[in-house]
Amino acid sequence: MSLPPLPLQPIRPGATAAAVKRGPKPKVTSERWFIAALEQLALGGIDAVRVELLAETLGVTKGMFYARFDTRENFLDAMIDYWRQRTTTGLVGELTAMDSGPEDRLMRLFAISRMDRAKTGAWIEIAMRTWALTDDRARQAMEEIDRHRLVYFESVLAANGVPKEQVCARAFLIYSYVIGDTLLSGDRAAIRDTCLSLLTAS
């Protein structure tokens, strides 16, 4: 299985990540460590996120890892924070900052699953949720991420006049749809408009 390379944040139109150059002391940012780790997580699970493998992938020594991160456990905590910012905090901030009306914001919720970053990150989202099944730290992080996303979905629905007693349930249904549309294989172009109509019907 080949995982598409993750773009660096912030994502700039037309920008591509520079290739890692082998050399005696290449400079590797924290973000490159996180991206390499998330790719390994997606490809082989949490056991594949090994310091030696990450260093080899980036063309550096293990010493350079420990010069930046005290321990693997601290690194995993920081990796989770990076993933949270990339997929939730940052994304919600971008969507909130857009100068658009309530209806347009609602339509943007349904477009999230078709964003480039969602397609690229689908493998990692699955891997994070799989890891969360056996690790309390990852479970807590995913619960916080889901809660943060749902709060935003609820705010958009409330702004669109959805009755208060329906907001939470509708937000959950739309969020579940977006997650499913992102992670499940297959082409759903023919049914997306119908799904939208059903999920937003008054």
- pLDDT tens, residue by residue, 68-114: 999 999 999 999 999 999 889 988 888 888 878 999 999 999 998 88
Q: For residue 202, what pLDDT band results from cuts at 50, 70 and 90?
A: confident
Predicted TM-score of the model (pTM): 0.81
Give pLDDT tens digits for 5-56: 454 443 333 444 444 444 455 689 999 999 999 999 999 999 999 999 999 9
**Phi and psi at residue 92, to the nearest 5°:** -60, -40
Distinct helix (H) and strand (E) counts, the chain: 10, 0
Q: What is the pLDDT of residues 101-141, one digit of tens each?
A: 999 999 999 998 888 777 778 889 999 999 999 999 999 99
* Per-residue confidence (pLDDT) for residue 26, from 0 to 100: 65
List pLDDT tens digits, range 131-169. 999 999 999 999 999 999 999 999 999 999 999 999 999
Write the class of the CATH domain 30-200: mainly alpha
What pLDDT was estimated at residue 32?
A: 95
Spatial distance between the Cα atoms of 34 and 146, rounded to a whole number of angstroms? 21
Q: Taking the CB of residue 100, how many other CB atoms lie within 10 A of it?
A: 12
Which residues, 6+ apart, have CB-to-CB distance to 55 below 8 Å? 61, 62, 64, 65
* Per-residue confidence (pLDDT) for residue 151, from 0 to 100: 96
**Pairs from 59-67 (Cβ < 8 Å, separation ≥ 24):** 59/20, 59/21, 59/22, 59/23, 59/26, 60/25, 60/26, 60/28, 64/25, 64/28, 65/33
User: Which of 120, 114, 41 minimizes the C-alpha distance to 75?
Assistant: 41
What's the whole-number mean pLDDT along residues 185-191?
Answer: 89
Interhelix angle 136-159/164-183, nearest 10 degrees: 120
Helix (H) or strand (E) holding 79: helix 72-84
DSSP state for residue 115 in the 8-state scheme: S
- The reported pLDDT for the residue numbered 17 is 43
